[in-house]
Chains A and B, each alone.
Chain A
Amino acid sequence: MRHHIILRIAAQLLIPPILLFALYVQFHGDFGPGGGFQAGVIFAAGLILYGLVYGVAEIHRVAPTHVAMKMMAIGLLIYIGVGFAGLGLGGKYLDYNVLLHDPMAGQHLGIFLVELGVGITVASTMLVIYQCFSEHQSRDLADDEW
């Protein structure tokens, strides 16, 4: 896609707002529509767009697969960890009320952390799946092959 200058410039303009919007959806999910799942997918979509336009090698340089694979597990572990934190602080598993002194503040913190874990896992899983597919391609497809 190197010769598609319009695509490359458009991607350059689009990718930063996409990533920023993903973060907005992630951290504003308590107040508006959105949450970890949507934010993770949008973040991954921004990175995948980068990979589509600039090539497989470039996306591996920006977001290496071995790092993304670890992030998949880290997100899920954050979620599980919040559950055990509630257990350790004297509540039930995934009980956010006991996380802080005020139950409502505890709920806020619990939902924030859980959504963060979901977002990390979803974003990195989507990216890893895309990278697994794309690195099997032995060569770049010509434009008229589609």
Chain B
Amino acid sequence: MIIRLRNLFAVVMLSSVFSLLSAGLFVTLDAVDVAFTEAAVGAGITTVLFLGALALTGRLEKPVHGRQYIPLVIMIGLTIMLIYGTMDMPAFGDANAPAHQYVMPEYITGTEAQIGIPNVVSAILASYRGFDTLGETGVIFTAGVGVILLLRVGMPSRTRRKSDDPE
């Protein structure tokens, strides 16, 4: 069992493995769309981006001197709070859970009648909750713009020089 690692390459690989395992977990919970996203984004792209960041910084975490008791206390407190929070959650598969009440039955019956596509997840994502998805797409666009502004602006690279050259 690994408790502590300073090699960040190994940390990235382990988090990728963890992501892939959670994708398998989502499949067993019948959430194939979520599993798909987790496998593609969490295990795939995130790993590559982390490795890209590692190549620019360093392979090893900086050593920490002395004992850090305050973060330990905060982490233990947060863990207890989170576990306490799960006590109120409905049992797995409970048909009376709040998530299955309210608008959900309407979506499930309405998808066939109003939209006519078999995938309820796609119907909710793109049609019923179209505004939310518009916001999410905006978030991804904004994230891309943020990275461009941070890493690209003012940086003379070979590709930029080539594209900026009038020729």
Contacts and interface: CB of A to CB of B under 8 A. Distances in A.
A3 B73 CA distance: 50
Nearest to A114: B126
Contacts of A117: 137
B18 interface: no
A45 to B, nearest CB: 5
Contacts, number: 157
B152 interface: yes
- Interface residue tally of chain A, by bracket? 35 or more
B117 A30 contact: yes
Interface of B: 9, 32-33, 35-37, 40-41, 44-45, 48-49, 52-53, 55-56, 59, 114-119, 121-123, 125-127, 130-131, 133-134, 136-138, 140-141, 143-145, 147-148, 150-152, 155, 157-159, 163
A23 interface: no
B55 A37 contact: no
A16 interface: no
Contacts of B137: 75-76, 79, 117-118, 121-122
A38 B55 contact: no
Q: Is the interface of A mostly helix, strand, loop or mixed?
A: helix
Contacts of B35: 33
A53 interface: no
Contact of B126 (A45, A111, A133): A111
